[in-house]
Amino acid sequence: MHLQKYMELLKEHNIKITPQRLAIVALMDQYGHISVRDIYEKIRAKFPSLSLATVYKNINAMMENRFINELKIVGQENKYELAKERHSHLICQKCGMIEDIEIDTSGIEKSIPKESGFEVVETSVQFVGICQKCAS
Amino acid sequence: MHLQKYMELLKEHNIKITPQRLAIVALMDQYGHISVRDIYEKIRAKFPSLSLATVYKNINAMMENRFINELKIVGQENKYELAKERHSHLICQKCGMIEDIEIDTSGIEKSIPKESGFEVVETSVQFVGICQKCAS
DNA sequence: CTGACTGCAAACGTTTTGCACGGTA
DNA sequence: TACCGTGCAAAACGTTTGCAGTCAG
């Protein structure tokens, strides 16, 4: 499918290509946000020799290279996503769904008092609530 | 000190009063945001019989009662804070400082498309950056 | 061909659990 | 007094590490 694309992505970030890594990237691309456990189980179904340690090692390497981001969400295990433009997340309290959303955070950043002397590098916003499916 | 205040707080939330719990509440009040490990070590210095299991059990009980909140922060261990009015956090990447800040999130909430059908219950905002002390 | 990656097993740190005892209401 | 909370030890997790063999570049 998009093997070629994944290989290029890895190359761009100076990460050596292996079947395990391609499988991880493919899952992140497919699911958007995925946990270590889910990565492990889904790949293992097709590729039973995969070890959990390898998943962790690769996740950590990819985070160091800023190739992926870690998402810490209340009430959920950590999720990982391919790094892309800054964005925020909609999170359903009921079903756990996570959806990307692009919003402008410059307004709220302005409400930090100048006197605080705090310089924002990154603003992280999570909208926690109920998704359409769960509401109906 | 504020023992009386802490006892009332616990009573209001239907949490039985014990010396261990009073010590935990006192630390959260004093530090604002504190980790399990820090709670354990600080209390233990004065009160060596305290067990880590007790800290965890109490933290969990207080979270169920919505008496305290859990704070998940990138690159830091989980922190806990007394529940209060909705607020956001300034987080220093360098020294780890966490500071409360009150901002109006209604603006960014409006940028969620109506068609998404997502109903926001709570908006969590973290401003990650460099604090005044670390910048100078 | 060489260094990096993988898988395995063991180690580690954190959090939870079960149980007997002790303290709060 | 009755029940809930505590402390201890063990268990259960999640994550990391060391090492020997293998693979990608």
Six-digit token string for B88: 């956001």
Distances (CA, A) of B12 to A110, B6, B7, B17, B26: 37, 10, 9, 11, 16
Identify the band that residue A1 occupies on the pLDDT scale cut at 50, 70 and 90: low
Q: What is the pLDDT of residue B134?
A: 97
- pLDDT single digits (tens) A84-123: 999 999 999 999 999 999 999 999 999 999 999 999 999 9
CA B91/CA A123 separation, integer angstroms: 10
CA B94/CA B129 separation, integer angstroms: 8
Nearest to B125 among A92, A121, A123 (CB): A123
Nearest to B129 among A120, A126, A135 (CB): A120
Distances (CA, A) of B23 to B26, B43, B57, B112: 5, 7, 14, 42
Amino acid occupying residue B62: M
Q: Which residues of B touch A93 (CB under 8 A)?
A: 121
CA B117/CA B99 separation, integer angstroms: 33
CA B84/CA A47 separation, integer angstroms: 49
Six-digit token string for B53: 């299991």
CA A123/CA A86 separation, integer angstroms: 9
Distances (CA, A) of B64 to A110, A127, B24, B58: 34, 21, 16, 10
> Can you spell out the DSSP letters for B1-17?
--HHHHHHHHHHTT---
Query: Residue B91: helix, strand or coil by DSSP?
Result: strand
Q: What is the CA radius of gyration of chain A?
A: 17
Say if residues B117 and A135 touch (Cβ distance below 8 Å): yes
CA B92/CA B97 separation, integer angstroms: 5
For chain B, 136 residues long, give each residue's pLDDT as a single digit of tens: 689 999 999 999 999 999 999 999 999 999 999 999 999 999 999 999 999 999 999 999 999 999 999 999 998 999 999 999 999 999 999 999 999 999 999 999 999 999 999 999 999 999 999 999 999 8
Q: What is the pLDDT of residue B1?
A: 63
Closest CA–CA distance from residue B79 to any residue of chain A (Å): 12
Query: Residue B99: helix, strand or coil by DSSP?
Result: strand
Residue nearest to nucleotide D6 (CA to C1'): B54
Question: CB within 8 A of A62, min separation 6: which ones?
Answer: A13, A15, A24, A68, A80
| Residues of chain B in Cβ contact (below 8 Å) with chain A | 70, 72-74, 88, 90, 92-93, 99, 101, 103-105, 107-109, 111-112, 116-132, 135
Nearest to A129 among B103, B104, B118 (CB): B118
Say if residues B15 and B4 touch (Cβ distance below 8 Å): no
Q: Which residues of B touch A99 (CB under 8 A)?
A: 116, 118
- pLDDT single digits (tens) A69-80: 999 999 899 999
Strand partners, B129: A120, B92
Six-digit token string for A121: 């590098």
- Whether residues B122 and A104 touch (CB distance < 8 A) is answered with no
- Whether residues B112 and A121 touch (CB distance < 8 A) is answered with no
Count CB-CB contacts under 10 A for residue B25.
24
CB pairs below 8 Å between A and B: how many?
A: 111
- Whether residues B108 and A119 touch (CB distance < 8 A) is answered with no
